[in-house]
């Protein structure tokens, strides 16, 4: 039967997400999918690509894409959802491995470590066109373009946040000390990493475009212009003053270079930086992730109201009632159209079902 998503659906996706980024949407964007279709063919032998098996190069890129096609053929895409393929399967911060760090997925999840611990002044971020991780990702992207011809959108790999990538080369502890002991060396590495980050972004995008319908990343928000969900998990461990000195300038530069951007605000330890983040003029949205063991996003009205009050859009998740709670909490500040919502479960009735087009 194949993937059930044609040109008319893509036209609606482009229109609605374009309005969302422009701030003219009058309802939330809601993504929801059901695995309820018969693919109409036998299951391929190739495994589903994951962090646990991304090191296994014995399967060709074409075989891996064929298995992903089979999985996508099972899905009914509801609301503002669309067929896209995650490349978080190579781990969060794969650019570290592209630049020579060790990728360790022995636990089933990808982690990155320095190949050799060196003094910071001897550490350099360098481009290697023959890096096996880079070549593998490029091969998979080529196979995807050849197979789907724009019917499916490949996500950009999770290249990683600037300081997070540096921590993979220096260790987190060494980078924390370096902020005090070698601040200029840290800033040198930030510049090297920033330049390479965009080189990798453009190189991979060059394979996906122009046949790709647009751009997206692991957050799954469609954009008709180059876009990315920026992040700095390392910021959880530093002061607001250090954030403004070492992190914010690079975020601002990235926002200037990309067409649409969102920040991954991961954990309540990052809340001290939110006020500073919201002053970045070209930052379009904030994804609020409270973190394990904390209440879900809709139970943080003070955070969501702060985002809305500064004219930024937001991405959260939950069920229909959670969405309605958020809409109510920000109604005096912003339209429901600033929300991108990843929904769990099909609502039985009400306005949310109407928003989903059901």
pLDDT in tens, the chain (358 residues): 799 999 999 999 999 999 999 999 999 999 999 999 999 999 999 999 999 999 999 999 999 999 999 999 999 999 999 999 999 999 999 999 999 999 999 999 999 999 998 999 999 999 999 999 999 999 999 999 999 999 999 999 999 999 999 999 899 999 999 999 999 999 999 999 999 999 999 999 999 999 999 999 999 999 999 999 999 999 999 999 999 999 999 999 999 999 999 999 999 999 999 999 999 999 999 999 999 999 999 999 999 999 999 999 999 999 999 999 999 999 999 999 999 999 999 998 899 999 998 8
Choose among 280, 173, 164, 175: nearest CA to 232.
164
Query: Which residue segments constitute the domains of the chain, with CATH numbers given?
Result: 7-356 (3.20.20)
> What whole-number distance in Å separates Cα of residue 121 and Cα of residue 186?
9
DSSP secondary structure letter of residue 215: B
Angle between helices 183-208 and 162-170 (to 10 degrees): 120
Q: What is the pTM of this model?
A: 0.96
3-class DSSP state for residue 255?
helix
> What whole-number distance in Å separates Cα of residue 71 and Cα of residue 87?
15
Residue length of the chain:
358
Angle between helices 132-148 and 183-208 (to 10 degrees): 30
At 161, which helix (H) or strand (E)? none
Torsion, Cα of 257, 261, 267, 271 (10° steps): 80
């Amino acid at each position: 039967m194949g993937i059930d998503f044609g040109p008319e659906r893509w036209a609606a996706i482009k229109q609605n997400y374009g309005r969302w980024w422009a701030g003219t949407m009058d309802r939330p964007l809601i993504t929801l999918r059901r695995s309820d279709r018969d693919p109409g063919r036998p299951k391929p032998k190739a495994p589903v690509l994951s962090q646990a098996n991304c090191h296994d190069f014995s399967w060709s890129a074409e075989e891996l894409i064929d298995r992903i096609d089979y999985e996508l053929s099972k899905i009914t895409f509801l609301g503002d959802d669309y067929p896209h393929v995650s490349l978080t399967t190579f781990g969060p911060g794969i650019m570290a491995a592209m630049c020579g760090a060790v990728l360790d997925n022995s636990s089933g999840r990808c982690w990155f470590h320095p190949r050799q611990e060196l003094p910071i002044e001897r550490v350099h971020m360098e481009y290697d066109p023959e890096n096996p991780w880079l070549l593998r990702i490029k091969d998979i992207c080529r196979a995807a373009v050849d197979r789907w011809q724009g019917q499916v959108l490949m996500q950009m790999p999770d290249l990683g946040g600037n300081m997070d990538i540096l921590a993979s080369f220096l260790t987190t502890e060494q980078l924390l000390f370096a902020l005090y002991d070698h601040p200029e060396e840290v800033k040198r590495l930030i510049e090297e990493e920033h330049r390479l980050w965009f080189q990798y972004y453009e190189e991979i995008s060059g394979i996906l475009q122009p046949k790709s319908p647009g751009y997206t990343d692991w957050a799954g928000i469609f954009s008709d212009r180059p876009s990315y969900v920026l992040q700095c998990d390392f910021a959880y461990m530093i002061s607001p003053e250090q954030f403004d000195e070492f992190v914010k300038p690079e975020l601002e530069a990235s926002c200037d270079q990309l067409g649409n951007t969102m920040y991954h605000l991961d954990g309540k330890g990052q809340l001290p930086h939110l006020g500073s983040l919201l002053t970045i003029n070209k930052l379009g949205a904030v994804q609020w992730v409270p973190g394990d063991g904390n209440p879900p996003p809709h139970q943080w009205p003070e955070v969501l109201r702060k985002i809305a009050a500064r004219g930024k859009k937001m991405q959260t998740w939950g069920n229909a009632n959670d969405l309605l709670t958020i809409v109510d909490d920000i109604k005096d500040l912003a339209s429901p159209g600033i929300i991108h919502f990843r929904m769990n479960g099909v609502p039985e009735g009400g306005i949310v079902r109407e928003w989903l087009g059901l």
